[in-house]
Amino acid sequence: MHILLTGAAGFIGAHTAQRLLARGDTVLGIDNLNSYYAVALKQARLAPLLAQAGFSFEPLDVADRAAMAALFARQRFDAVVHLAAQAGVRYSITHPEAYLDSNLTGFGHILEGCRAQGLGHLVYASSSSVYGGNTKMPFEESDPVDHPVSLYAATKKANELMAHTYSHLYRLPTTGLRFFTVYGPWGRPDMAYFSFTRAVLEGRPIQVFNHGHMKRDFTYIDDIVEGLLRVLDKPATAEKAGGAPCRVFNIGNQDPVALMEFIGCIEQALGREAIKEFLPMQDGDVPATYASTEALQRWVGFAPSTPLQDGIHRFVRWYRDYHAV
């Protein structure tokens, strides 16, 4: 297939591009290479992709209406994998405009391009953040998600609603994936496992929010990409007769890990103990996430399962190599 991959220089995007190319797809990657975190890391992710046949790249911003319309006018795609977004719960409190532009306006431009082409399938990134203040565990796709606790979460829920509308009106097959705390090599520096590793190696304290009383369903990057590709190859259909060809799935490890246990895995992999600074819960955070992946397993026969200890060791090996420490 010929795939448009947005956010190609991002953490999940770069890993997804590698897998698509490995199986013989051609990929046009786009990314605005913004400075939310080090652009050098994004360029380093792109470098091995640019060396491969079948991959091309354009520095485009999905929020640029004219540029996106021109892109869809000059190229035809079999499917779109839309991973471009402004990420980060805490950043959304201080920089809301970035989320309105990228996550709402940008997603609208993607939907319009797919509609114009009569595209075969749009797969897009949602987030476990949509579950907001829910306390029922594990989170299931049928749970109400009407109480987001961050603007980031609200934009991701809005994406799901927008996708459903286009599926209903134009019969565009859309599949949203609610990612649960993705980690691994080439990850984002603003994520806890990355910043904790850096701080421990530099001898600085790590900030432990909610005094350590938190749990996360950490999901290894290879599992995320495997699930994404399986979903990509099975376009969404209507769940009920006469319904919209629109699906949403959780993709998580089904194994929430306590924050202190998570820190222990990093300490073990590094062979050093962390200096811990215990702090209250931050605005926009939730105390726990826990994915039910039964729907994903029924749909594509796969669910993430990489043990956290294995995934953290792989990340630490990459981190030491990339930063030469």
Question: Taking each helix axis from N to C terminus, what angle separates 11-22 and 221-232, rounded to the nearest 10 degrees?
Answer: 60
Is there a catalytic annotation at residue 131? no
CA dihedral for 177, 140, 86, 14, sign (positive or negative): negative
Domains along the sequence of the chain with CATH: 2-180+220-252+290-306 (3.40.50.720)
Q: Which amino acid is at 201?
A: L
pLDDT 10s digit of each residue in the chain, 325 long? 999 999 999 999 999 999 999 999 999 999 999 999 999 999 999 999 999 999 999 999 999 999 999 999 999 999 999 999 999 888 899 999 999 999 999 999 999 999 999 999 999 999 999 999 788 889 999 999 999 999 999 999 999 999 999 999 999 999 999 999 999 999 999 999 999 999 999 999 998 988 888 888 999 999 999 999 999 999 999 988 779 999 999 999 988 899 999 999 999 999 999 999 998 888 777 788 889 999 999 999 999 989 999 999 999 999 999 999 8
CB 241 within 8 A of CB 287: no
CA distances from 271 to 138, 232, 263, 268, 313 (A): 33, 40, 12, 5, 11
Specify the 3-state DSSP secondary structure of 285: coil
Strands in 2-6's sheet, in edge-to-edge order, are: 55-58, 26-30, 2-6, 79-82, 122-127, 174-179, 246-251
Distance CA 218, CA 231 (A): 20
Burial 307-322 (b: 16+ CB within 10 A, else e): ebeebbbbbbeebeee
Which residues partner with 182 through β-bridges? 219
Nearest residue to 228 (alpha-carbon basis) of 244, 246, 250: 250
Instruction: Given the residues 36, 99, 124, 152, select the one marked as catalytic.
Output: 152
